[in-house]
Amino acid sequence: MLDILAITGPIYITIALGYLTTRLGLFAKADMRVLGKFVITLALPALLFNALAQRNIGEILNVSYVLAYLAGSLLVIGLGLLWCRRVAGLSPSTSAVYVMGMTCSNSGFVGYPILVLTLPPVAGVALALNMVVENVVVIPLLLALAERGRGDAGQWYRVLGQSLARLVSNPLIMGLVAGLTVSLMGWKLPEPVARTINLFALSSGALSLFVIGGALVGLSMRGMGPQITPIAVGKLIFHPLAVLLAVFVLPLLGLPAMDPTLRMAAVLMAAMPMMGIYPILAQSYGQESLSAAALLVTTVASFFTLSVLLWLAPHVTLWS
């Protein structure tokens, strides 16, 4: 267990430092937005570029990983919407917000740093593949469902189109496409350029975790326990279980089996807390308080669930 704490400890200590330094006034809450913008605009795109540009194209385009992660996510989306509508009696828009919290992982800010410590050979590739699934399919789909729930029959089509159009100018997607291009063409960057990109890529790990901690300052969850619990359980338990199920079912349907390391990476990515922009996306549907509280609880709870998952992994023969 001490080995597991050696992995998860630095992650959550860094998050705690971000929280404490912001809480004590050494950093302002607004500073976290600036630092977060740096990570999203420069550091993570550089990281994605490096992860892809330095590998053979065959290593990157892992269809089995993409389909397994997507299938697990879609399963949770379907079951989550069914529970929200039939059991909890929530509106269509609110149901979509709940399910967004259950299925959209914080792949860049939390997932990648943990994979660097546990599965470094595949950390960058797993991050890139997750970005494809989340940004191209899952988030646009859920935003479209949320808009459709507002009652405007045509609006959801426009939101889906706008979400896809924004991908073109998204720095993360630009870094991903650039890295794929370099890998496909077999180019080698000049040494000064490669070193500069690497400097930005190396800054992403600790800074992204620090930003998560600072962003948690001031979030309140008073009286929201019954509403938050289904989102947290869906994200930290059902999402990784659904991806794990997909990982082993899809080969039975004829798809190539994944490497055990990539299998574990997919399940770990699904076990991460929800993305940091979750409250921002939920704000348009009047659910910013709920989503912010869910983000706080899920991020804290993930320390325990991820520690258990990392402890169980070596004892589970299914990985091999």
| pLDDT tens sequence across 114-166 | 898 888 988 888 988 998 888 778 888 888 888 776 655 555 567 667 666 66
Tokens coding 211? 């930003």
Q: What is the mean pLDDT of residues 74-103?
A: 94
**207 confidence band (pLDDT: 50, 70, 90):** confident
Min mean pLDDT across 97-101, 109-113, 117-121, 232-236 is at 109-113
**103 confidence band (pLDDT: 50, 70, 90):** very high
- Is the CA virtual torsion 143, 296, 43, 130 positive or negative? negative
DSSP letter string, 291-314 = HHHHHHHHHHHHHHHHHHHHHHGG
SS3 call for 104: coil
| pLDDT tens sequence across 39-52 | 878 888 888 788 77
Domains annotated on the chain, with CATH: 2-319 (1.20.1530.20)
Give the percent of the chain with pLDDT over 70.
Answer: 88
| pLDDT tens sequence across 225-236 | 788 999 999 999
